[in-house]
Amino acid sequence: MRVITEVSERVVETPSTVTLRFRYTPPAGPGQFVMIWIPGDDELPMSLSYTGEPKGVTIKAMGTTSRNALSMPAGTLVGIRGPYGNRFDLSPRRILVVGGGSGTAVLAPAAEAAVRGGSRVVAALGATTAPELLFVGRMKAISESVEVSTDDGSLGHHGFVTDLSQRLLAQQPFDAVWTCGPEIMMRKVISAAKERGVPVFCSMERQMKCAMGMCDACALGPYHVCTDGPVFPADRLMAIPEFGHTKRDSSGRRVPL
Amino acid sequence: MRVITEVSERVVETPSTVTLRFRYTPPAGPGQFVMIWIPGDDELPMSLSYTGEPKGVTIKAMGTTSRNALSMPAGTLVGIRGPYGNRFDLSPRRILVVGGGSGTAVLAPAAEAAVRGGSRVVAALGATTAPELLFVGRMKAISESVEVSTDDGSLGHHGFVTDLSQRLLAQQPFDAVWTCGPEIMMRKVISAAKERGVPVFCSMERQMKCAMGMCDACALGPYHVCTDGPVFPADRLMAIPEFGHTKRDSSGRRVPL
Amino acid sequence: MPVADLRTTVAGLTFRNPLWLASGIWGESGNSLKGAWEAGAGGVVTKSIGSDPRMGYPNPTIETYEKWGMLNAMGLPNPGIDEYPQEIAIARAAGAAVIGSIFGADADEFAHLASKMAATGVLALELNLSCPHAKGLGSEIGQDPDQVREVVSAVKRAVQIPVIAKITPNHYDVASLAQAAESAGADAISAINTVRALAIDVQLRRPVLANGLGGLSGPAIKPVGLACVWQIYDRVNIPIIGVGGIESADDVIEYVLAGARAVELGTAVAFRGIGIFSGLAKELSQRLDSLKVHRLEELVGAAHSPVTPE
Amino acid sequence: MPVADLRTTVAGLTFRNPLWLASGIWGESGNSLKGAWEAGAGGVVTKSIGSDPRMGYPNPTIETYEKWGMLNAMGLPNPGIDEYPQEIAIARAAGAAVIGSIFGADADEFAHLASKMAATGVLALELNLSCPHAKGLGSEIGQDPDQVREVVSAVKRAVQIPVIAKITPNHYDVASLAQAAESAGADAISAINTVRALAIDVQLRRPVLANGLGGLSGPAIKPVGLACVWQIYDRVNIPIIGVGGIESADDVIEYVLAGARAVELGTAVAFRGIGIFSGLAKELSQRLDSLKVHRLEELVGAAHSPVTPE
Ligand SMILES: Cc1cc2nc3c(=O)[nH]c(=O)nc-3n(C[C@H](O)[C@H](O)[C@H](O)COP(=O)(O)OP(=O)(O)OC[C@H]3O[C@@H](n4cnc5c(N)ncnc54)[C@H](O)[C@@H]3O)c2cc1C
Ligand SMILES: Cc1cc2nc3c(=O)[nH]c(=O)nc-3n(C[C@H](O)[C@H](O)[C@H](O)COP(=O)(O)OP(=O)(O)OC[C@H]3O[C@@H](n4cnc5c(N)ncnc54)[C@H](O)[C@@H]3O)c2cc1C
Ligand SMILES: Cc1cc2nc3c(=O)[nH]c(=O)nc-3n(C[C@H](O)[C@H](O)[C@H](O)COP(=O)(O)O)c2cc1C
Ligand SMILES: Cc1cc2nc3c(=O)[nH]c(=O)nc-3n(C[C@H](O)[C@H](O)[C@H](O)COP(=O)(O)O)c2cc1C
Ligand code: FES
Ligand code: FES
């Protein structure tokens, strides 16, 4: 059920992030992910940053495999299986999108789909430094407004994207917040939204192997991120002690995030 | 793919022949056969003598298993798989049916289907003795005429059914002859029909195991009776030296018929 | 309302139904064991646990064949026996009937793990003598009757709780392995683990799984598992737990007729979802009702002496 | 127009394509061997022939699982070596590349059969050391490296033509069996025969096959056959013929990448019809063209040393 397909296009998005596009026809929705096999290397879960044809994933260099992926030329053969997992619920009318780092990869196609469906989107995007801001143009093209933050102050708000989301939540009414980024960041987004009674949906990451709800690698409290997620309503996450604190490594051992 | 089903009805047709009816829903046509498993005993190929629901087979006591089948009460569980094999071509308009012994079992449903389709049927049925004549009433209900023969002269023509078919072929025009019975009988039917240029279709029997064109048990010249037959045009059969002379036993050895 | 009694007794332990979660599925974390229990499993077998944390093989670790087969080489990832008691505690707190699975390189390691696992309060142990793709572990030990005897003896000396030996199908005479386990005091046999298998990608000209060889599971191996249980039943007196390709009530009954007192479900959880436990329990009761069988246990091994209708 | 060259050389014999008819399928009668050859098979292996006529087991002899698996216990029916030359003569008269399969109870019987079979003019012999359901025959001999060595040695002394040893998958270390055959002078290995398996009817509470145990074939065992060929390729130098679950061009290429120089098709003939030979030959050429491979033989064993993209 793996499909071997050629990377048809390669777009360098930031110094540490690249988008790979490829033909892979099974229908997919925003929030879902694929398992991408880099032959001779590893197979990684990657959210679809483009859910239509050609589909795409946007990879940030973290470890060996993702770093190798960064320099992978168009024409390389990769294996794709999926899509797996659930989708963002596109029904909210006013959506605040809060993306930390490469987290914006999964939020951008969701925001686009929501806007196509008649929703209005406001975005707050953060990164360590200006060149690392992801999909700012793409979000601007569809959002009512896009605010950015950088840890080093090189562009936009000098500080965390959570500062932006807190301010936006105070200024405007929203039906939902969508967020993806470090868990500590998402926890902050959640508590700010909770004060206003706005529901938050987080796209989560955990170690993945089977992606089919079998091997338990992606266990997160009572859930499997691969089949129950990756998109979770915040109240479910807040009920899990490990959220924001620990994950499991490849052995299943609990390790600090 | 075997279906276990109950013998819903049991009809003694002749002193040595019984019809077993059972529910088995896959669609079937006249000429086709099923493999019927008598649990604890053997599994035998049997032509469908009733192709609609409830389906039926008409079994003549030959050896151990078929003899056991004769005394099998309604309610017994049997295993059915199939239907297998090809069907009689129902397009000829004037059909002569020549049945020898239990061979009529497969001809009766075919004749009924042909008549439903607007064809006209004349039947010649033979048996060793009057009580062994099979489906005479059933054939009379749909045929223009039915003639019978018995080896012992106890009913109808005293002699072979081939005498009847020869006479009928001389008297009337036919588009096709359908026959099932001992091969020596079918060879005679074929040569009489050939003189008149009437095509003959024979329903053949050979040892069967898989019924799927794999095990070679039913090899007959270049054909497999289970998948290329059981209905064969006579010209194919006449080209096979073994037709009417030898068959293969369970080991695949050639033995006289 | 289905009425047939699904309870089953294995090695003196009674389970509310015969449908256990197989080792390696949902069994790495306590919450998942709990989840499988709450979803209706009659017993839950943990992931096979070793002495030290083990990352397992890199991905790809699985390949699927439509809905009839799955190939995996996880490489026995597990957090190690010292981290694991906290997971068992979560499952036990929920009331789950937990069977602890362990794997090791020799009798000493098995015995050592067995004591530690028993100390967590699991009801029984399952010895993984049958992983087809881990060098020096699993079936490399489990294929040799002498080593099976040694391991089981050592474990039996180390613990009081029932010990289940899980047997490999990759052997000419699986029943000899089960006999070896029985002679060493095993309380039950489970069979089978996966069947050694491989997939190659034609375009990339390389094995699909990072480890190369893996193990086949799912419906494709049901006939193989049945043959193993059948052969074992003829040669041992201890109870058998059937594993391999089970996903319907008839599959369960087939295993029971072959000689199993309980069964384990693995791949079906991936192909059909965790809801399979409650769905199957209901389906099984209904099927037994329609077959006019009051207690599943009446059928254990019944196909070995079939009654032929007159 | 597909152009890739499908010819393959095994033990010095060149075959027009690598798609052979497997033993036990269409191979009891000369006309069927001829038919398979005329349908496009690259070689045709006869039904396994013994010393005396053998009726085989009563029906039911087969059970199927949708289109992914088949279970059989034919019981090695065959007309016996003395009746069989007339069948081979028919196939040879049609120009078929015939490989004669034989089975026996010991080295002497194998050697005796081998001489008689060789005298019929077959190109090569295949020794069935691997039937999973015949008492005292097949895999009861073939599971023991020493007996494999004895049988192969005896046959090699008796005949001049190439000898192929057909290996059972029901073993912990299939490559050791292949090595035993090689050390005794076998010219090639074929793998695999069917996998020991069983089906039980739930309503009748009895095994479906008259013999009880049978052998699983078809797509379900393709991953198992691939693993065997893979392991054998790593340990022997003689050519390998892959068997088990092949029905598509990619299946063939998978086996070739694992190490096979030719393949045999069995169950696919039942599930897809005899037209599979010509269809598959065409599909295979086209697939090789699309993979830019000129000769199938270039791919033999290639997955053992995969080239990783930069
Ligand atoms: C459902 C899902 C969707 C994902 N979508 C994307 C995506 O769209 N884009 C993307 O770039 N990545 C995504 N990831 C993460 C990705 O799968 C890998 O975990 C990441 O690329 C690192 O892989 P690696 O093998 O290169 O790093 P490894 O060698 O495994 O790790 C290298 C370093 O990176 C750190 N690291 C690894 N994974 C993460 C992580 N998830 N978060 C933070 N730090 C990490 C490790 O702590 C380690 O220090 C997703 C993960 C999941 C589960
Ligand atoms: C496609 C097909 C359709 C068939 N349809 C019917 C049917 O509708 N009704 C029916 O009664 N039988 C039919 N048969 C024949 C049937 O399958 C068995 O062969 C027959 O019932 C004998 O089985 P047994 O096991 O009882 O006899 P066995 O114990 O195998 O043989 C007992 C004796 O019967 C003789 N005998 C066996 N088979 C035949 C045969 N086919 N013709 C003549 N003599 C035979 C043997 O030579 C032997 O002397 C069909 C066979 C085929 C291949
Ligand atoms: C992903 C996966 C992981 C497994 N891990 C283990 C394991 O750790 N220990 C073990 O004894 N068996 C393990 N198995 C084997 C299963 O417990 C079971 O024996 C096998 O899968 C056959 O059952 P099934 O067809 O229902 O899956 C694993 C199987 C799968 C599919
Ligand atoms: C009905 C049937 C009969 C068989 N008879 C033989 C036989 O006589 N000798 C033999 O070596 N293998 C025999 N086999 C095994 C096949 O040759 C082959 O090894 C096996 O079926 C796997 O290939 P497949 O999946 O393509 O069928 C038989 C298989 C089937 C299905
Ligand atoms: S990745 Fe295996 S259960 Fe989620
Ligand atoms: S019965 Fe097996 S080929 Fe016809």
Can you give the pLDDT at residue D141?
82
Q: Name the neighbours of B, counting chains with at least 3 Cβ pairs within 8 A.
A: C, D
In this structure, the dihedral spanned by the alpha carbons of residues B88, B91, B96 and B101, taken in order and rounded to 10 degrees, is 20
Residues in chain B closer than 8 A to D26 (CB atoms): 214, 216
Pick from D231, D239, D195: which is nearest to D20 by CA?
D239
pLDDT surpasses 60 at B118:
yes
Q: Where are the beta strands (DSSP E) in B55-113?
A: 55-60, 77-84, 94-100
For residue D284, the distance in angstroms to the closest alpha carbon of chain A comes to 18
Task: Supply angle C-alpha B56, B59, B62, rounded to 5.
Answer: 165
What is the maximal distance between C-alpha atoms in chain C?
Answer: 61
How far lies C160's CA from each of A141, A192, C2, C8, C14, in Å?
68, 54, 37, 21, 17
Q: How confident is the model over B11-39, as a mean pLDDT?
A: 97
Residues in chain C closer than 8 A to A221 (CB atoms): 31
- Class of residue C106 by CB neighbours under 10 A (exposed 0-12, middle 13-18, buried 19+): middle
Q: How confident is the model at residue A40 (pLDDT cuts 50, 70, 90)?
A: confident
- H/E element, A121: strand A120-127
Residue C255 in contact with residue C246, Cβ under 8 Å? yes
Query: What is the residue-averaged pLDDT of chain A?
Result: 97
Residues in chain C closer than 8 A to B76 (CB atoms): 309
In terms of DSSP H, where are the helices of chain C? 30-38, 85-93, 107-119, 139-142, 145-158, 174-183, 222-233, 249-258, 267-272, 276-290
Q: What is the pLDDT of residues D150-204, one digit of tens each?
A: 999 999 999 999 999 999 999 999 999 999 999 999 999 999 999 999 999 999 9
* Beta carbon of B226 within 6 Å of any ligand 6 atom: yes
Residue B91 in contact with residue B116, Cβ under 8 Å? no
Domain for residue C203, yes or no?
A: yes
> By residue range, what is the domain housing residue D119?
8-304
Distance from the CA of A7 to the center of ligand 1, in angstroms? 20
Pick from C262, C206, C201: which is nearest to C13 by CA?
C262
pLDDT surpasses 90 at C188:
yes
Peptide bond into D60 cis (omega under 30): yes
- The label of the residue with tokens 């092949």 reads D246
Give the strand pairing for C98-102 and C124-128: parallel
Q: What single-letter DSSP state applies at residue C194?
A: P
Q: What is the pLDDT of residues A94-151, one digit of tens each?
A: 999 999 999 999 999 999 999 999 999 999 999 999 999 999 999 999 999 999 999 9
Distance from the CA of D61 to the center of ligand 2, in angstroms? 17
Query: Does residue B252 sit at the C interface (CB-CB below 8 Å)?
Result: no
pLDDT surpasses 70 at D310:
no
Task: Supply angle C-alpha A79, A80, A81, rounded to 5.
Answer: 130
Can you give the pLDDT at residue C308?
72
Look at ligand 1, atom 28, and give the residue with the nearest C-alpha: A63
- H/E element, D206: strand D206-207
Q: What single-letter DSSP state applies at residue B180?
A: E
Contacts of B50 (CB under 8 A, 6+ apart): B19, B21, B56, B109
State which ligand 2 atom lies nearest to the alpha carbon of B60: 11
Q: How confident is the model at residue B248 (pLDDT cuts 50, 70, 90)?
A: very high
Contacts of C86 (CB under 8 A, 6+ apart): C30
Residue D280 in contact with residue A11, Cβ under 8 Å? no
Q: Where are the beta strands (DSSP E) in A129-193?
A: 145-150, 157-158, 176-180
Give the strand pairing for A200-203 and A231-233: antiparallel
Can you give the pLDDT at residue B80?
98
Helix, strand or coil, per DSSP, at residue A66 = helix
Distance from chain centroid for Cα C242: 7
Mutating to test ligand 1, I would choose from A62, A184, A251, A253 the residue with most ligand atoms within 8 A of its C-beta, which is A62
Contacts of C298 (CB under 8 A, 6+ apart): none
pTM, two decimal places: 0.96
Can you give the pLDDT at residue B29?
97
In this structure, the dihedral spanned by the alpha carbons of residues C4, C6, C7 and C10, taken in order and rounded to 10 degrees, is 130
Can you give the pLDDT at residue D308?
72
Contacts of D251 (CB under 8 A, 6+ apart): D222, D245, D263
Mutating to test ligand 1, I would choose from A11, A36, A44 the residue with most ligand atoms within 8 A of its C-beta, which is A44
Query: Given an 8 Å threshold on Cβ–Cβ distance, is C32 in contact with A219?
Result: yes
Active site residues of D: 131
pLDDT surpasses 90 at C10:
yes
Identify the residues whose C-beta falls under 6 Å from ligand 2: B 33, 42, 44-47, 57-60, 62-66, 102, 105-106, 205-206, 208, 230
Q: What is the pLDDT of residues B79-109, one digit of tens each?
A: 999 999 999 999 999 999 999 999 999 999 9
Domain for residue C310, yes or no?
A: no
CB-side neighbour CA atoms (13 Å) of C84: 31
Domain for residue D310, yes or no?
A: no
Can you give the pLDDT at residue B237?
98
Whole-number Å distance between alpha carbons of C276 and C283 = 10
Q: What is the pLDDT of residues C98-123, one digit of tens each?
A: 999 999 999 999 999 999 999 999 99
In sequence order, what are the beta bridge partners of C96?
none
State which ligand 6 atom lies nearest to the alpha carbon of D26: 3
111-170 in B: which are within 8 Å (CB) of C?
A: none
Write out the DSSP string of C123-187. SEEEEE---TTSTTSTHHHHT-HHHHHHHHHHHHHH-SS-EEEEEPSSSS-HHHHHHHHHHTT-S
Q: How confident is the model at residue D205 (pLDDT cuts 50, 70, 90)?
A: very high
The number of folded domains in chain D is 1
- Write phi, then psi, for C114 (nearest 5 degrees): -60, -45
Query: Exposed e or buried b for every residue in B73-101, given b needs 16+ CB within 10 A?
Result: eeebbbbbbbbbbbbbebebebbbbbbbb
pLDDT surpasses 90 at A32:
yes
User: Which of D27, D59, D210 is closest, CB to CB, to B216?
Assistant: D27
Can you give the pLDDT at residue D137?
74
Q: How confident is the model at residue C138 (pLDDT cuts 50, 70, 90)?
A: low
Distance from the CA of C267 to the center of ligand 3, in angstroms? 8
Pick from D5, D3, D87: which is nearest to D42 by CA?
D5
- Write phi, then psi, for B194 (nearest 5 degrees): -60, -40
ipTM > 0.90 (yes/no): yes
Distance from the CA of C72 to the center of ligand 3, in angstroms? 9
Interface of D with A (CB under 8 A): 306, 308-309
User: Which of D69, D196, D224 is closest, CB to CB, to C197?
Assistant: D224
CATH topology of domain A3-84: Elongation Factor Tu (Ef-tu); domain 3 (2.40.30)
CATH code where residue C227 lies: 3.20.20.70
In this structure, the dihedral spanned by the alpha carbons of residues C186, C190, C196 and C199, taken in order and rounded to 10 degrees, is -150
Distance from the CA of B37 to the center of ligand 4, in angstroms? 23
Residues in chain C closer than 8 A to B77 (CB atoms): 309
Can you give the pLDDT at residue C234?
98
Residues in chain B closer than 8 A to D51 (CB atoms): none
For residue B46, the distance in angstroms to the closest alpha carbon of chain C comes to 21
For residue A34, the distance in angstroms to the closest alpha carbon of chain D comes to 21
Which amino acid type is present at position C191?
A
* Beta carbon of A147 within 6 Å of any ligand 1 atom: no
How far lies C79's CA from each of A74, C51, C74, D84, in Å?
39, 9, 14, 62
Task: Supply angle C-alpha B185, B84, D216, rounded to 5.
Answer: 125
Pick from D169, D10, C167, D153: which is nearest to D177 by CA?
D169
Domain for residue D2, yes or no?
A: no
CATH match for B94-256 among 3.40.50.300, 2.60.120.260, 3.40.50.80, 3.50.50.60: 3.40.50.80
End-to-end CA distance of chain C: 33
Q: How confident is the model at residue D309 (pLDDT cuts 50, 70, 90)?
A: low
Q: What is the pLDDT of residues C50-65, one digit of tens each?
A: 999 999 999 999 999 9
Domain with CATH 3.40.50.80 in chain B: 94-256
How far lies D256's CA from each of C19, D249, D300, D309, in Å?
41, 11, 5, 21
Can you give the pLDDT at residue D34?
98
Ligand nearest to the CA of C191: 3
Identify the residues whose C-beta falls under 6 Å from ligand 3: A 214-215; C 22-25, 47-48, 70, 72, 74, 76, 101, 128, 131, 166, 193-194, 217-218, 221, 243-246, 265-268
Can you give the pLDDT at residue C141?
82
Domain with CATH 2.40.30.10 in chain A: 3-84
Query: Given an 8 Å threshold on Cβ–Cβ distance, is D306 in contact with A77?
Result: no
pLDDT surpasses 80 at C309:
no
* Beta carbon of A214 within 6 Å of any ligand 5 atom: yes
In sequence order, what are the beta bridge partners of B44?
B36
Residues in chain D closer than 8 A to B224 (CB atoms): 32
Residues in chain C closer than 8 A to A219 (CB atoms): 28-29, 31-32
Q: How confident is the model over B28-34, as a mean pLDDT?
A: 98
Which of the residues B243, B251, B255 would you substitute to probe the D interface, choosing the one with the greatest number of D C-beta atoms within 10 Å?
B251
* Beta carbon of A226 within 6 Å of any ligand 5 atom: yes
Percentage of residues in chain A having pLDDT higher than 90? 98
Look at ligand 1, atom 35, and give the residue with the nearest C-alpha: A62
Percentage of residues in chain D having pLDDT higher than 90? 93
Per-residue tokens: D141: 């001999």
Query: Given an 8 Å threshold on Cβ–Cβ distance, is C202 in contact with D171?
Result: no
Q: What is the pLDDT of residues A63-82, one digit of tens each?
A: 999 999 999 999 999 999 99
For residue B59, the distance in angstroms to the closest alpha carbon of chain C comes to 18
Q: How confident is the model at residue A236 (pLDDT cuts 50, 70, 90)?
A: very high
Contacts of C241 (CB under 8 A, 6+ apart): C10, C20, C164, C188, C189, C190, C191, C260, C261, C262, C263, C264
- Write phi, then psi, for D267 (nearest 5 degrees): -55, -30
Q: What is the pLDDT of residues C143-171, one digit of tens each?
A: 999 999 999 999 999 999 999 999 999 99
For residue B35, the distance in angstroms to the closest alpha carbon of chain D comes to 9
- The label of the residue with tokens 């793998």 reads D191
Catalytic site includes residue C228: no
Per-residue tokens: D144: 């023991």
Pick from A85, A114, A28: which is nearest to A211 by CA?
A85
Mutating to test ligand 6, I would choose from B84, B224, B248 the residue with most ligand atoms within 8 A of its C-beta, which is B224
State which ligand 1 atom lies nearest to the alpha carbon of A65: 26
Q: What is the pLDDT of residues D15-47, one digit of tens each?
A: 999 999 999 999 999 999 999 999 999 999 999
Q: What is the pLDDT of residues C288-305, one digit of tens each?
A: 999 999 999 999 999 999
* Beta carbon of B219 within 6 Å of any ligand 6 atom: no
Contacts of B131 (CB under 8 A, 6+ apart): B14, B15, B154
Whole-number Å distance between alpha carbons of A202 and A234 = 7
Contacts of B9 (CB under 8 A, 6+ apart): B19, B20, B21, B54, B56, B74
Whole-number Å distance between alpha carbons of D95 and B164 = 46
Query: Given an 8 Å threshold on Cβ–Cβ distance, is D308 in contact with A77?
Result: no
**D/B Cβ contact: 3+ pairs below 8 Å:** yes
What is the maximal distance between C-alpha atoms in chain D?
Answer: 61
Contacts of D1 (CB under 8 A, 6+ apart): none
For residue A44, the distance in angstroms to the closest alpha carbon of chain C comes to 8
Whole-number Å distance between alpha carbons of D23 and A154 = 74
Mutating to test ligand 3, I would choose from C19, C21, C23 the residue with most ligand atoms within 8 A of its C-beta, which is C23
pLDDT surpasses 80 at C284:
yes
Whole-number Å distance between alpha carbons of D55 and B250 = 5
End-to-end CA distance of chain B: 33
Whole-number Å distance between alpha carbons of A181 and A179 = 7
Write out the DSSP string of C55-77. --PPSP-EEEETTTEEEE-----
Residue D201 in contact with residue D136, Cβ under 8 Å? no
